[in-house]
Amino acid sequence: MRATAEETTRRIGPYGIERYLGRDGFAGRHLGRDRDGVPAVVTVPRVSGGGGRRVRRELARDVEAARIATRYGPARVLAADLDADIPWVATEYIEGPTLLEAVRRHGPLGGEELHKLALGTSSALSVLHWFGLVHGDLTPSNVVLAPDAARVTGAGFARAFAAVRPDLAARAATPAYTAPEHLPGAEPRPQEDVYAWAAVMAFAATGREPHGRPDIPADPSARPPAGAVMEKLREVVPRCMSGDPERRLTSERLMVSVVAACTRGRVRRPEARLSSAPPTVPGPRTEPRRPLTPFRFDGCPHGSPYALAGAMHVAPKRAADLFADVQERGRLLSWLSLEVRDTSLDRRALAARFHRPADAAAMFVAHFRPDLAAGLS
């Protein structure tokens, strides 16, 4: 079978093309390298035929939003030129198999692997929806299992094509991951992304494409936090695959619910840790013990992260304001490191992974008070 011109292309924009990766209903994908040798996935959207100019215009708008949104979790948009003779969008190349490849080769995921998948995909959807984007094509082929986290790829095309070329959008849909209320060729909605997320998780846990109400198997051997994640998925996945979109969680609540499950069984109150220590006979002291300096939030001192998280839960707007202020956030992280000496919280996640200050506050509460965060689901 002769190779097509698309498959034998050697250069697209500033990228030298190494090999053709394949195509879906929206675009063809290539592995390329820029002049510095940095790899990227170079995507060429299908803009020929009717509405080509408008497709480019709609894509340019969504790709610009995706360029900002993907700094915080999904595969990053690096560059784009949608006015070129061959329009292209370059995204971060992520080493690792897709979820589809991993499950086909090695079977269903469980334990820590499923835990990482739930975290990475739910946070990516929350970020995309905050920036007004809808993925619209979330399937196991669009999730890459990188060594450090599961990464969502392929964001930024579905809405633009549905707006201009509903015929292409209808053909690109994958039935097993498409919400029942979705009309062929219609613009995707955030609730449909949540349905697709649940279907992807059901596939990852069972190795089968979901049909009807999914049954996530129990894993009695899984240790915390993975065991709690399995328990939460058995509750959340069927709800998010409900035929009624209003019964599904929003992507933000979904993310917080998964984060809370990930910390359940692992976080302890500082007071409980101290009181559970075996009694010892104190030796002679040469200097007075330095008391823990409380952290002031909302006008009151709080002597532990547990207490502080409870206060943030009661005053979420003020908590979001704290995380929006770079100096205040730095003061909190310094207090955790120097005073509390807590190393369990991912500082980089608070600073960068979630764009909205409210998301960072929710993650803080979910980490130190999972009993409160779980109520958000």
How buried is 23 (Cβ within 10 angstroms: 0-12 exposed, 13-18 middle, 19+ buried)?
middle
Pairing verdict, β 27-33 and 295-297: unpaired
CA 327 from chain centre, in angstroms, equals: 26
d(CA 287, CA 356): 44
Q: What are 231's two structure tokens?
A: 């328990």
Q: Where are the alpha helices (DSSP H) in the chain?
A: 5-8, 52-69, 99-106, 111-130, 158-164, 166-172, 190-206, 226-240, 251-263, 270-275, 305-314, 316-324, 326-334, 347-348, 357-368, 370-373
Under a CB-based contact definition with an 8 Å cutoff, are residues 200 and 140 in contact?
Answer: yes
CA-to-CA dists, residue 74 to 98, 197, 286, angstroms: 14, 14, 53
Catalytic pick from 24, 62, 137, 219? 137
d(CA 124, CA 74): 5
d(CA 56, CA 49): 12
202 phi, psi to nearest 5 deg: -65, -40
Residue 132: how many other CB atoms lie within 10 Å = 12
CA-to-CA dists, residue 118 to 38, 115, 218, angstroms: 29, 5, 16
d(CA 373, CA 255): 10
Question: Does the active-site annotation cover 62?
Answer: no
- Which positions are annotated as active-site residues? 137
